[in-house]
Amino acid sequence: MAYRANLMLCTCTMCVSVGALKIKKKLEEELKKHNLEDEIQIILTGSSWLCTKGPTLIVQPDDVVYQLLKEEDIPHLVEEHFLKGRPVKSLMYIHPEALHPIEKLHEIPFYRDQRLVALWNRGIIDPDQIDEYIARDGYKALAKVLKSMTPEEVVQEIKDSGLRGRGGAGFPTGRKWEFCRKNPNTPKYLICNADEGDPGAFMDRSIIEADPHSLIEGIQIAAYAIGAEKGYVYVRLEYPLAIKRLNRAISQAREYGLLGKDIFGSGFDFDIEMFRGAGAFVCGEETSLIHSIEGRPAEPTQKPPFPVEKGLFGSPTVINNVETLANLPRIINFGAEWFASIGTEKSKGTKVFSLAGNINNAGLVEVPMGITLREMVYDIGGGIPNGKKFKAVQTGGPSGGVIPSSLLDLPIDYERLQEAGAIMGSGGMIIVDEDTCMVDLAKYFLAFTNDESCGKCTSCREGSAAMLEILTKISEGRGEEGDIEFLEELGEAIKDASQCGLGQTLSNPVLSAIKHFREEFETHIKDKKCPAGVCKALIEYSIDPEKCTGCMACVKVCPQSAITGERKKPHKIDQSECIKCGVCKDACKFDAVKVE
Amino acid sequence: MPKLKPEDLERITEKVKRTMILREGTGRAKITVHMGTCGIAAGSRAIMSALIKEIEEKDIKDVILTTSSCAGLCSREPMITVEVQNQPPVKYVDLTPEKVKEIFDKHVLSGEIVKEYALAFGSERVP
């Protein structure tokens, strides 16, 4: 069928949760009503667009994008755009603070400033159609390495490209492979780490949902390079859609003979097994992950020996992250030199980030290494909502740290972020505005790692609990002189004494918050005040009698009935009843509710 | 399903090429059928169907067919605009399915403008 238009409907986990499948049904009905079903095709894609603007629909070849679609918009949209050819401006993307929508997808800054390597196919193909993947140069890199390159040449190519692990630590991928390749022991294993656990991170899930074959091809290239015949994908159970799409892609690849015996007639045998993790954060750590596949308790062990020496079932094993592997087909197709031309001196290529938190365009972005935080937050991210001020960005999740606004012009690469006390991490980027308390944020991450610590090392198990206790104390107004110094000392000690990455990095959010926002900690301790107005024990809600118009709005919403007052007379909050929920502040239209 | 050989990748690519060109917007030519209310009333549906039929029958992969609204000359509908790569767009007026077939063969596929049906070259100036 010769379709004249494709409607690329995003059906990632997030868009489905806000009704993308209902939109699909309605689109089908309306297209049928206008007899357009043979001319216009609906394609379900993986994550393609701004994740907070879903459901989104990209119309090709018109290059038009619609956002925040509702079922009732569809009849009008179909009649106007698809029948009469008039794109509907009221449903298009509007850049924050702009007056008019941007009509062409590729002119939108969020898209324009991105460079897609790992996300090469996102939103362009139907992830369930292997043929569409093939039509976008799919499996050509695999054919190339199997037919014309020795494993050593593949290793060299990746070394030359400068690709570094995208899971967090940034170890050079080619070197890791080389260690495994040179290890005489067999069999060898390739494991894809898709146990994405950082709060606010969804890069790996999006890659798998949008383009599962890219991952499969990447795994095969890596396996060929190191000499593995079996690969595992360790994916967390909380990603049902990703698991479904990857399983389907694996069976399609098997049907085509792209997995199994004698792939492409080259004599290379390889197959993939899915392994679903039960959702322990520590399983993202290499040795714990290996133990989990082996059926042992998911606890880390001392490195060395590294997995490349003694990994899964005692065999040499390479563990690569989803994004690292998804880069491989492009590096092989376009060459190491091309890849190395993108990025900075020591950080090559692009990086996928998930932008989350207080940001207008939350979503999935892929940018060249070396882009500044400012470009990320303001150009791509579209700035901070509700006219608030940018305060900091948290990178690397519970293993990373905060970067304050004074470092907004910092280029994003492995080294620069580390110098600033944060880490690249897997790519989670949480933006916080002026209403966020840094003590509270640090406490949040500590509570997470304290909960997720496997308990094997005392330093991590007890240390995280002790740090959390002090942070809780500070946030409740019981902070004492010396607490900050103690946190610093304890933080360093936990780093030194813990066996795996979880413990070695868990104090980073606290230490970097102290480094960049020490004053805020001191205010909590000395003045017993929370400048951002977050820590409940340190704040008090009151009503400014000058501004209060006596509209009763706050009186009506207060769940504690703590606000009293008559119409047209200033209201008052009974402090003994107030639970500091902030509902009154949100309800007040006159800015009369103060937080101190 | 027999096992894929490297050369099969090209075959599959060719099979899906039309879809991919549509999504990437990289065809050798783009035909816009003006489908405002005036165009539809004057018979642009038949023009659209004729073009789809041409593309299907001749198995053309790299021509993009799309719609747009009224071109501002309602009395001369149905109209189409043909843009062959690296050439200015040409507007055709007072069309019938037969005329469109001719335009498709001569202009879209062979690059030869059908002057007797053409209104003008180029688009209106935009500020």
| CATH number, domain with residue A442 | 1.20.1440.230
Tell me, what's the pLDDT at A444? 95
When CB atoms are compared, the residue of A2, A131, A258 closest to B55 is: A2
The pLDDT value recorded for residue B124 is 54
Place of tokens 């692009």: A350
Annotate A501-513 with b (16+ C-beta within 10 A) or e (fewer): bbbbbbbbbbbbb
Q: What percent of chain A has pLDDT over 70?
A: 99
Q: Which two tokens stand for residue A109?
A: 């800054």
Considering Cα of A18, then A22, then A27, then A30, what sign does the dihedral take?
A: negative
What is the distance in angstroms between the Cα of B41 and the nearest Cα belonging to chain A?
Answer: 11
Neighboring chain A residues of B3 at a CB cutoff of 8 Å = 256-257, 262, 265
Query: B69–A85: do the CB atoms touch at under 8 Å?
Result: yes
A267 in B contact zone (CB under 8 Å): no
Q: Which one has a higher pLDDT value, A514 or A420?
A: A514
Q: Is residue A534 part of a domain?
A: no
Distances (CA, A) of B59 to A60, A130, A355, B18: 20, 22, 43, 9
Strand partners, B82: B31, B90
Q: Which among A433, A452, A475 is the end of a domain?
A: A433
Name which residue leads in pLDDT, B37 or A216: A216
Please tell me whether residues A236 and A310 are part of one structural domain.
yes
Cα separation, A477 vs A554, in Å, equals 27
Judgement on whether residues A89 and A60 belong to the same structural domain of the protein: yes
Chain A residue whose CA is closest to B21: A61
Min mean pLDDT across A211-215, A282-286, A490-494, B84-88 is at B84-88
Q: Are A20 and A54 in contact (CB under 8 A)?
A: yes
Tell me if B48 and A39 make a contact (CB, 8 A cut-off): yes
* Same domain? A21 vs A94: yes
In terms of domains, do A101 and A139 share one?
no
Q: Which residue is closest to A252 within chain B, CA to CA?
A: B1
Query: Would you state the pLDDT for residue B21?
Result: 84
Residue range of the domain that includes B102:
25-121
Chain segment A5-18, per-residue pLDDT in tens = 899 999 888 889 99
> Average pLDDT, stretch A222-238?
95
Domain total in chain B? 1
Top residue of A1, A3, A4, A333 to mutate, by most chain B CBs within 10 Å, is: A4
Of B18, B22, B35, the CB nearest to A85: B35
B22 in contact with chain A, both atoms CB, cutoff 8 A = yes
Tell me the C-alpha distance between B6 and A592, whole Å.
71
- A178 and A138 fall within a common domain: yes
Predicted confidence at residue A377, as pLDDT, reads: 92
B69 close to A (CB below 8 A): yes
Residue A48: the pLDDT is 61
Interface size, chain A vs chain B, as Cβ–Cβ contacts under 8 Å: 103
Query: What are the residues whose beta carbons fall under 8 Å from the beta carbon of A65, sequence distance 6 or more?
Result: A49, A56, A57, A58, A59, A92, A93, A105, A108
Q: B3 vs A5: CB contact, 8 Å cut-off?
A: no
Does the CB of B9 have a partner CB in chain A at under 8 Å?
yes
**Domain's final residue, options A433, A460, A476:** A433
Number of domains in chain A: 5
Whether residue B59 is predicted with pLDDT greater than 60 in this model: the reply is: yes
Interface test with B, best of A3, A43, A84, A146 (most B CBs within 10 A): A84
pLDDT of residue B47: 92
Contact A85 B24 (CB under 8 A): no
CATH number at residue A413: 3.10.20.600
Query: Higher pLDDT residue, A361 or A461?
Result: A461
User: Is B78 a domain residue?
Assistant: yes
Q: Is the pLDDT of residue B5 over 80?
A: yes
Q: Please indicate, yes or no, whether residues A72 and A207 belong to a single structural domain of this protein.
A: no
Identify which of A445-449, A577-581, B13-17, B88-92 has the greatest average pLDDT: A445-449
Judge whether residue A197 has pLDDT over 80: yes
Please tell me the distance in Å from A254's CA to the nearest CA on chain B.
Answer: 9
Residue A371 to residues A400, A410, A449: CA-CA distances in angstroms? 19, 8, 30
- What is the reported pLDDT for B86? 78
Measure Cα distances from A248 to A129, A244, A408, A464, A527 in Å: 9, 6, 42, 41, 59
CATH, residue B91: 3.40.30.10
Question: Cβ contact (<8 Å) for A135 and B33?
Answer: no
pLDDT category at A333 given cuts 50, 70, 90 is: very high
Q: At A14, is the secondary structure helix, strand, or coil?
A: helix
The pLDDT tens digits for A146-157 are 999 999 999 999
User: Do A4 and B12 lie within an 8 Å CB cutoff?
Assistant: no
- Residue A311's CATH number: 3.40.50.11540
Closest residue to A134, CB basis, from B13, B40, B66: B13
Listed range (A266-280, A523-537, B66-80) with the worst mean pLDDT? B66-80
> Which of B19, B20, B67 comes nearest A85 by C-beta?
B67
CATH of the domain at A588: 3.30.70.20
DSSP for A64-95, please give it: EEE-S--GGGHHHHIIIIIIT----GGGB---
Last residue of a domain, one of A321, A340, A359: A340
Burial label, A290 (beta-carbon count in 10 A; 0-12, 13-18, 19+): buried
Q: CB distance A3–B22 less than 8 Å?
A: yes
> Taking 80 as the threshold, does the pLDDT of residue A521 lie above it?
yes
Residue-range definition of the domain harbouring residue A455: 438-527
For chain B, say whether A25 makes contact (Cβ under 8 Å): no
Query: CB distance from B41 to chain A under 8 Å?
Result: no
Distance of CA B91 to the CA centre of its chain: 12
Same domain, A501 and A408: no
User: Average pLDDT, whole number, for chain A?
Assistant: 92
Q: Which of A4, A83, A86 sits opposite B65 (nearest CB)?
A: A4
Q: Is residue B2 part of a domain?
A: no
Do A520 and A423 fall within a single domain?
no
pLDDT at A418: 87
Q: How far is A377 from chain B (nearest CA, A)?
A: 28
Q: Does A559 touch chain B (CB under 8 A)?
A: no
Q: What is the mean pLDDT of residues A82-91?
A: 87
Considering the domain boundaries, does residue B3 fall inside one? no
Q: What digits encode the pLDDT tens for the residues A20-62?
A: 999 999 999 999 999 888 889 999 988 766 778 889 998 888 8
At residue A479 the predicted structure's pLDDT band, cuts being 50, 70 and 90, is very high
**Nearest Cβ partner for A60 among B4, B25, B52:** B25
pLDDT confidence bin for A525, thresholds 50/70/90: very high
Asked whether the predicted pLDDT for residue A1 surpasses 70, the reply is no
SS3 A5: strand
Same domain, A162 and A287: yes
| DSSP string for residues in chain B | -PPP-TTHHHHHHHHHHHHHHHHHT--SEEEEEE-SHHHHHHTHHHHHHHHHHHHHHHT--SEEEEEE---S-GGG-S-EEEEETTS--EEE-S--HHHHHHHIIIIIIH----GGGEEEES-----
Same domain, A354 and A334: no
Residue A124 lies in a domain: no
Segment B62-118, tens digit of pLDDT: 888 888 877 778 888 899 999 888 788 888 999 999 999 999 999 998 888 898 898
B23 to chain A: which residues are within 8 Å by CB? Answer: 6, 8, 60-61, 124
Residues A164 and A213 both lie in one domain: yes
Indicate if A336 and A355 belong to the same structural domain: no
Arithmetic mean of pLDDT, A130-134: 94
In a domain, A119, yes or no: no
In a domain, residue B14? The reply is: no
